[in-house]
Structure 1
Amino acid sequence: MSTHSESNSRLAALSLAALGVVYGDIGTSPLYTMKEVFAGTHHPVPITPDNVLGILSLVLWSLIMVVSVKYVGFVMRADNRGEGGIMALIALASRQAGDDAAKQRFIMLVGILGACMFYADGMITPAISVLSAVEGMEIATPAFSHLVVPTTLVVLLGLFLVQRRGTALIGGLFGPIMVVWFATLAVLGLIKILEAPDVLAAVNPIYAFHFFTRNGDLAFLALGAVVLAVTGGEALYADMGHFGRRPIRIAWFGFVLPALMLNYFGQGAEILHNPESIKNPFYLMAPDWLLIPLVFLSTAATVIASQAVISGAFSVSRQALQLGYLPRMLVQHTSESEVGQIYLPRVNWTLMIAVMALVIGFESSSRLAAAYGIAVTGDMVITSILSAIIFNGLWGWSRLRTIAVVSVFLSVDLGFFGANVLKIPAGGWFPILMGVIIFTVMTTWKSGRQLLYKRLKDDAMDLEPFIEAISAHPPTRVQGTAIFMTPNPHGVPHAMLHNLKHNKVLHEQVVLVTVKVEDIPHVPGKERVTVQNLGHGFYRVTVSYGFKDEPDLPHELEACADYGLQLDVMDTSFFIGKETVIARRDSEMAFWREKLFITMFRNADSVTNHFKLPPNRVVELGAQVAL
């Protein structure tokens, strides 16, 4: 009985935590969605009873189709050992592709494009969310209108500055604040619905259908604003590894979806009753005495939504780094108990500059809304494409069944995406520009690393003949252990050849260590290390990590003792090749991309820091490599 009670308590706690982390983005969409549909800068819809009911029906059924059916019903079942998100989806789809190089390349390119859309979304979400909340000051009193942008910048600056201290302290407040937020959404909406219950007719999807038949092109263009209601839906899948499927589903169906729909329908009732309220229907639903407290609550909710996006950017960046899509960079842990709480300075400051530039450049949430949709809808399309590969390849669905289900998803996704493509001149160019830049960086790093590895492998001697030659004509062997880091476990590391050439000695024990990152989130500790005795004092050690594991090489090497390889860190030297990469014009890569790769390579975090090697035991030996 107590076990059952503890299980229910844990489920309730996880569901509460999910409210704070998973639903911040989609939970703050009511701040601006209806306003953008009827009063936005991009083809506003005329206010008539039929149009209001049609839009409400579109919002409701978009949430049901995209979030409830697609993400909760299908995509969340495509987990990589419990983990979700774009990197887990890439890993699952790549596993299905097997040795098909063309298919692997397609999956890699599409997946990276999805990650780029995630980053672009991560730049826009904090800007539009906090701006839309602070704009409530204008409703309270127009005299505050000139303070909206400066106040937004101050709030965002504080948010980014606090990242290095970790989110554990404010993280404990996320769930309770979002409970108050969603309860407020529901109550405000319910009061207005009771005043005009006719809006509940929009539950019938026929109103959405009639909206399209009456309005034609305008109805299609309206999708560009309606999609704002589902932004953040992808977070259900991305954060699945933190909370599990069940708590996320319980929070969605039990609290979040009902609260959102009550608020949207309440705004619809307010607009029908008072068309003037369209300038900001969310705030104008509230009584005057509640406006200022509501501005503070909305700002807190949008800060939480922004925090979840920033934390997600840190997490995706570390996974991309592990999988070889980004250069090594400093990763700091901000919690002793929660391994997922990390801080990446470069990502944090890059995001901060981009977010603040958006606020200064666009100045209002309405202008930013034009830039918002294309990143989200692009990510939705990519998720559907990768899901099709998993449904057919890993789940064993027939091609006909896969096409039938994914076609439904894509018809919705592409409709939203097409409507947002038309907003490119009004701001949609920003996520596209960011996506192109990030895509170029990630593909250049991946291709450059592969080309560098190929050059090093082509120039390397085979290991086994080298060991036989050493045994036949042994050089001087000195006490201790030398560990050589190498990506090629079957070749002689350049650092070893340089050491032998210049110092004319080898250590008693020579250990070649290769680190591999598997396409799973975590590799169990007992499975991380394999040791092969090559004879004559040579050992080959392979250390495997999952793409969410934290590298700590000295700690992993302690497990070598179980295989008969004793390593005393204080009597061990770590030899690392320090390559100087040179561009050349007749290479497989474009010359400008070689230059970009070399710049990133020079500025990447050191191997010593990345693998937590003891700095006083590391020896770097240089070599020149022409790409």
Structure 2
Amino acid sequence: MHLELVRNPHLHGGTFALYSLICRYAKVGLTPSQQAEDCDVSNFKLELPSKRLRLAASLKSKLESSKFAKVFLLLATMLGTSMVMGDGILTPSMSVLSAVAGLKNASPKMTEGMIVAISVAILVCLFAVQRLGTDKVGYSFAPIIFVWFTMIGGIGAYNFVKFDPRVIKAVNPKYIVDYFLRNKKEAWISLGGVVLAITGTEALFADVGHFTVRSIQISMCTITYPALVLAYTGQASFLRKNGEFVSDAFYKSVPHPLYWPMFVVAVLASIIASQAMISGTFSIIQQSLSLGCFPRVKVVHTSPNHDGQVYIPEVNYLLMLASIGVTVGFRTTDKIGNAYGIAVVFVMALTSSLLVLIMIMIWKCNIFFIIAYVLVIGSVELTYLSSVLYKFAQGGYLPLAFATFLMTVMFVWNNVYRRKYYYELDHKVSPEKLKEITSDRNICRIPGLAIFYSELVHGIPPIFKHYVANVPALHSVLVFVSIKSLPISKVPVEERFLFRRVHPKDLNVFRCVVRYGYTDVQNEDESFENMLVEKLKEFIRDELWASQMGSNARVADEDQELGEGIIVNGENEDKNQEQQEEEVEKEIEAIDKAMRAGIVHLFGENEVIAGKGAGFGKRILIDYMYDFLKKNLRQTDKMFHIPHKRKLKVGMTYEL
């Protein structure tokens, strides 16, 4: 995972980022929106090794030709994404509840109910500050996390020296073998608790969106890992002399004068750990939203310096309610820990599986290296996964329940999203029909610029024909806009707008595909329509330049063949160029005039219903589940911050 992050700084981690990388190389996406022009985006192309392997070509061919493989790959990605979202619920509950539980050691009057109440209050405050953004929250917590690692590392070193330094012998692998030989099944079951020692590392993919890879590597190797090793070694040394405190080793091993400072820092550190996972949830929902796999929600870009820092109000509210529900429902960290372990190991196993596909198809690694990776990493992860699944009944069902619910939401939205796309593709307006409509004398052309929005990348959407049939008037300039998400993290602004002219030229009709990466966020301070008009003017000028270059090349060939009349041809060419430039200036003036007359944004308010003869399952999927999601979530027109006075919705019913 981290190898790819180093190789490709534009790739943010997570299951959807890996899925997007696979989609860039192989046509495994279920929506047929690929365009040859997408490869012209500067950071779209993959840096492929020069050596070609038959295994890579064979695997790519099988994935592209198998509908089952495409669906399975998407569902696996959704499962991993859902598990990460489940992490965003469990991490705050687990971290805060375990930190606050230290109050039991300070006061015997502290009851379980009081600890739960304090934890809930902290959780409410934690989710309330999310709207400030990771930048502000991170700056306020950075010194605290440094104090946290310093304290646990220092206390660990103190306990190591004071109690039993001989625990250093535990680095000998022989003791691991002896432990499993001696305890057998119980040793295997204990791995479910051991895995909690490495939880939190699955949130590193989110941190890549907030910091640089190098800063994470340096902090992990110089501060985090050494401090954790010292802390666990110190606790082991403490337990050698105080075995009765094994269930509460952390707070019991803290020297008495440092107890309260350690408690305060522990609570703050738990909040920071929760913050990282909540930010990771926002990041991965933004990725799935951009790829059409999650219902529309408002994404707020909270930092002008870091692209990955986003805040999603609706999701933040739901995470808070779910996290509080888990805290109140379970009340202790035992069952939450079992659930947490399953979510973490599931995500790791799915990430490694996708990474193996990338190693074979894209990186084209040596087959022996791939086999070694599967045997070493795969065997370890499967062993841990089997161990945590053993505690399914003791709280382990919770992340799977969350994942099932979230996967259902994602599947329903993506399934109907694809059905709508195919419907529009099958019923799109042909160029001949468009020419017929715009040339119809019964349809008047009025001053102004109309922007028609559609999810259809290829062709004119059927909503246009429906609009003209009811309103026999068209604006002097028409632009059909399709918002498209590419399977890359960012699209440079100068490469975002892709225009095509709809002929004949005098119609003033254009098609535009606006391309975004899955971490790009529409800038609220920047007028989308102004950018679109300026890029349209650039396209018209570039179109003239391209035609002149082609004309000059053709004239040069003719002159070379004839050998005479070079001066005459040159004069004629100059006249043609002047005439073309005048036409371009007139066309740009027409666009400026249309813009001054007014811009209207037309959105299709598409209602989808199951077609006649549809089965019971399809009716439930479309008429009830999707309809419920659509009515309770954000509409497309709200994503571009367009003034209500210049917005027009066109209703149409699709029978899918």
Q: Shift of the alpha carbon at 1:96? A: 3.3
Q: Equivalent residue for 1:561?
A: 537
Q: Aligned in 2, Cα 1:338/1:532: closer, same or farther, shift over 3 Å?
A: same
Which residue of 1 is the match for residue 550 of structure 2? none
Which residue number in structure 2 is paired with residue 370 of structure 1?
338
Change (3 A) 1:287 1:145: farther
Q: Which piece of structure 1 moves more, 108-117 or 336-345?
A: 336-345
Q: Is the 8 A contact 1:370 1:424 kept in 2?
A: yes
Deviation of the 1:82 alpha carbon: 4.1
SS at match of 2:209: helix
C-alpha contact 1:517 1:544 (8 A) present in aligned 2:
yes
Match of 2:282 among 314, 324, 349: 314
In the other structure, the counterpart of 2:359 is: 391
2:245 match: 277
What amino acid is the match of 2:643?
Answer: P
C-alpha separation between the residues in 2 aligned to 1:261 and 1:168?
A: 29
The one-letter code of the counterpart of 1:542 is V
Give the Cα separation in 2 of the matches to 1:623 and 1:543: 23
1:290-301 alignment runs, 5 A limit: 290-301=258-269
Which residue, out of 59, 71, 91, partners 2:20? 91
Gaps of 5+ in 1: 1-70
Larger Rg: 2
1:622 and 2:646 equivalent? no
Task: Say if 2:96 and 2:267, in contact at 8 Å, map to a contact too.
Answer: yes
Q: CA shift at 1:474, angstroms? A: 6.8
Tell me how far apart the structure 2 counterparts of residues 581 and 244 of structure 1 sit (CA, whole Å): 44
Match of 2:609 among 569, 574, 582: 582
Question: Which residue of structure 2 aligns with residue 541 of structure 1?
Answer: 512
- Does structure 2 conserve the Cα–Cα contact (< 8 Å) formed by 1:480 and 1:571? yes
2:598 to 571, 574, 577: 571
1:562 deviates by: 1.2
Aligned to 2:315: 347
Is 2:118 the partner of 1:151?
yes
Letter in structure 1 aligned against 2:10: R
Q: Which moved more, 1:398-407 or 1:280-289?
A: 398-407
1:176 is matched with which residue?
Answer: 143
* Structure 2 CA distance for partners of 1:76 and 1:268, relative to 1, 3 Å: farther
Question: Residues of 1 paired with 2:8 and 2:85: CA distance?
Answer: 21
Alignment partners' CA distance in 1, 2:389 and 2:362: 33
Write the distance in 1 (CA, Å) between the matches of 2:91 and 2:247. 21
The whole-number CA distance in structure 1 between the counterparts of 2:150 and 2:613 is 63
Distance 1:463 1:88 in 2: 37
Could you tell me which amino acid in structure 2 is paired with residue 234 of structure 1? E
Does the C-alpha gap of structure 1 residues 191 and 379 become closer, same or farther in structure 2, counting only changes over 3 Å?
same
Query: What is the CA–CA distance in structure 1 between the aligned matches of 2:440 and 2:302, rounded to whole Å?
Result: 52
Map 1:198-277 onto structure 2 (within 5 A).
198-277=166-245
- Which amino acid letter does the alignment assign opposite residue 156 of structure 1? L
Could you tell me how far apart the structure 2 residues matched to 1:138 and 1:570 are? 71
CA contact (8 A) 2:603 2:650 kept: yes
Q: Which residue identity lines up with residue 153 of structure 1 in the other structure?
A: V
Deviations 1:523-549 (A, max 9, x none): 001100111121221111111000111
Q: Percent identity?
A: 33
Residues 81 and 490 of structure 1, relative CA distance in 2, 3 Å threshold: closer
Which whole-Å CA distance do the structure 2 matches of 1:470 and 1:446 have between them? 34
Q: What one-letter code is carried by the residue in structure 1 that aligns with 2:246?
A: I
CA distance in 1 between partners of 2:197 and 2:326 (Å): 21
Q: 1: distance between equivalents of 2:362 and 2:174?
A: 37
Match of residue 124 from structure 1: 90
The residue that corresponds to 1:412 in the other structure is: 380
Once residues 226 and 610 of structure 2 are traced to their aligned partners in structure 1, the CA distance between those partners, rounded to angstroms, is 58
The farther-off stretch of 212-221 and 238-247 is 238-247
Matched residue count:
556
Which one is further off, 244-253 or 234-243? Answer: 234-243
Query: For the residues of structure 1 that align with 2:235 and 2:194, how far apart are their CA atoms?
Result: 14
Whether the 8 Å contact between 2:449 and 2:600 is mirrored in structure 1 is yes
Deviation at 1:122, TM superposition (A): 1.2
Do residues 591 (structure 1) and 619 (structure 2) align?
yes
2:634 matched to which residue of 1? 605
Answer whether contact 2:486 2:517 (CA < 8 A) is retained: yes
Unaligned 5+ segments in structure 2 are 29-63, 541-587
**Preserved contact between residue 543 and residue 556 of structure 1 (Cα < 8 Å):** no
Conserved 8 A contact 1:136-1:295: yes
CA distance in 2, matches of 1:223, 1:618: 58
CA deviation string 1:20-55 (max 9, x = no partner): xxxxxxxxxxxxxxxxxxxxxxxxxxxxxxxxxxxx
Kept in 2: contact 1:96–1:390 (CA 8 A): no
State the Cα distance separating 1:90 from its structure 2 match.
1.2
Give the corresponding residue for 1:142: 108
Aligned match of 2:552: none
**Does the Cα contact within 8 Å between 1:94 and 1:107 map onto a contact in 2?**
no
Q: Summarize the Cα distance change of 1:215–1:496 in structure 2 as closer, same or farther, 3 Å threshold.
A: same
Distance change (3 Å), C-alpha of 1:205 and 1:173:
farther
| Change over 3 Å in CA distance of 1:215–1:113 after alignment to 2 | same
Structure 1 position 295, deviation (Å): 1.1
After superposition, the C-alpha distances for 1:265-315 in whole angstroms (9 at most, x for unaligned) are 111111111112213111111112221221111000000111111111112
Counterpart code for 2:98 = S
What's the offset of the Cα at 1:554?
A: 2.4
The residue number in structure 2 matching 1:162 is 129
Flag the 1:385–1:490 CA change in 2: closer, same or farther, 3 A. Answer: closer
Take 2:498 and 2:233, find their aligned partners in 1: how far apart are those partners?
A: 60
Please list the CA deviations of residues 394-432 of structure 1 after superposition, one character each: whole Å capped at 9, or x if unmatched.
111144431221221111111111001111100001100
The answer to whether the Cα contact below 8 Å between 1:85 and 1:239 also exists between their aligned partners in 2 is no
**Distance across 2 between alignment mates of 1:586 and 1:407:** 50
Contact 2:608–2:653 (CA under 8 A) maintained in structure 1: yes
Matched position secondary structure for 1:522:
coil
Change (3 A) 1:77 1:407: farther
Deviating more after overlay: 118-127 vs 484-493: 484-493
Deviations 1:311-334 (A, max 9, x none): 111121122111111111122344
Q: Structure 1 pair 384/333, CA: closer, same or farther in 2 (3 Å)?
A: closer
Is the contact between residue 76 and residue 245 of structure 1 (CA under 8 Å) also seen in structure 2? yes
Q: Work out whether 1:449 is the aligned partner of 2:477.
A: no
Match of 1:403 among 364, 367, 371: 371
CA distance in structure 1 between the aligned counterparts of 2:324 and 2:441, rounded to whole angstroms = 65
Q: 1:243 to 1:597 in 2, by over 3 A?
A: same
1:516–1:544 Cα contact (<8 Å) kept = yes
RMSD: 2.1
Residues 263 and 175 of structure 1, relative CA distance in 2, 3 Å threshold: same
Kept in 2: contact 1:228–1:373 (CA 8 A): yes
Distance in 2, matches of 1:602 and 1:230, equals 41
Alpha carbons of structure 1 residues 585 and 372: separation in structure 2 relative to 1, 3 Å? farther
SS in structure 1 at match of 2:519: coil
The range that moved more, 423-432 or 546-555, is 546-555
Change (3 A) 1:172 1:353: same
Q: Deviations over 1:407-462 (max 9, x none)?
A: 21111111111001111100001100000111111111111100112223323332
Deviation sequence 1:491-529 (CA, Å, 0-9, x none):
433442233222211111111111110000000011001
- Cα distance in 2 for partners of 1:219, 1:603 equals 48
